[in-house]
Amino acid sequence: MEQKRIAAIVGSFRKNSYNRQLALAAKEIIGERAIFEIIDFADVPLMNQDFEHPAPEPVRRVREQIKAADGVWIFTPEYNHSYPGLLKNLIDWLSRPISKEERQVLSKKPIAISGASNGMGGTVTAQDLLVMLLSMLNARVMNFPRLRVPNVQEQANEQGLLVLTTSKPYLEKQADAFLKFIQE
Ligand code: FNR
């Protein structure tokens, strides 16, 4: 059987982003069980309908990566009790039909959501709002389990490296569940 592909989207461009580190930890846990690729979308411009057709090259590239993926795993911080604007911007681009013949790439796409923040809620509100947005786009969101990492700095060492002292077993459970979910 051909190996499944997971495309990871990280909602932070920060160099030492905890969410990026969480995505890298997930990649390690997934190992050989799937191809796990973190999507680079820092060059996707702000949405502007004037430039939608033809879509800018970075948008076309990311669309192809999402289209080719069997599942998308989003790792998001929480900004002011919501998901960051850069994630909304990317999803706004992805929400648009590619052409008259081809619908948008998130429709029916299996999606897992995780998030780390330095607050007590560990991105719960951002995740709930993301579920609402993705449901509107007819994505197939895995509602359980969803991983929240609260007070993330307490699970990092002095160098800011995420060691996931308490959250690692939950990340492992989510990885196992998502691998099953994308087979269904
Ligand atoms: C935050 N942060 C934050 N944390 C939280 O738990 N709830 C929140 O509502 C917010 N709001 C917020 C707004 C803005 C504009 C910033 C920049 C930050 C803190 C946030 O959780 C923390 O900076 C994380 O480390 C960001 O994730 P990355 O960049 O480490 O992946």
Q: Report the CATH number at residue 52.
A: 3.40.50.360
115 Cβ below 6 A of ligand 1: no
Give the C-alpha separation, 83 to 72, whole Å. Answer: 16
**Cα of 114 from ligand 1 centre, angstroms:** 14
- What's the pLDDT tens digit per position in 168-183? 999 999 999 999 999 9
Helices (H), the chain: 18-30, 57-68, 85-94, 124-136, 168-181
Q: Which residue has the higher pLDDT, 120 or 100?
A: 120
What is the reported pLDDT for 160? 93
Give the C-alpha separation, 98 to 177, whole Å. Answer: 30
pLDDT category of residue 121 using cuts at 50, 70 and 90: very high
Res. 6: pLDDT tops 80? yes
Chain centre distance of CA 45: 18
- What's the pLDDT tens digit per position in 23-60? 999 999 999 999 999 999 999 999 999 999 999 999 99
| Domain with 155 in it | 4-183
In the chain, how many domains are there?
1
Nearest-CA residue for ligand 1 atom 10 is 79
Res. 10: pLDDT tops 90? yes
18 Cβ below 6 A of ligand 1: yes
Mean predicted confidence (pLDDT) in 90-118: 95
What is the reported pLDDT for 146? 98
Length of the chain: 184
- Give the list of residues 6+ apart from residue 134 with CB closer than 8 angstroms, or none: 91, 106, 111, 141
**Cα of 174 from ligand 1 centre, angstroms:** 22
17 Cβ below 6 A of ligand 1: yes
Mean predicted confidence (pLDDT) in 124-131: 98
Res. 1: pLDDT tops 80? no
Hey, which of 117, 120, 124, 148 would you mutate to test ligand 1's pocket, going by the most ligand atoms within 8 Å of its Cβ?
Answer: 117
Q: Is the pTM of this model over 0.85?
A: yes
Nearest-CA residue for ligand 1 atom 16 is 79
- What's the pLDDT tens digit per position in 144-171? 999 999 999 999 999 999 999 999 999 9
Whole-number Cα distances in Å, 101 to 38, 98, 104, 138, 160: 28, 8, 10, 18, 47
C-beta separation of 72 from 111 below 8 A:
yes
Chain centre distance of CA 174: 13
Mean predicted confidence (pLDDT) in 72-89: 98
**Cα of 78 from ligand 1 centre, angstroms:** 5
What is the reported pLDDT for 2? 85
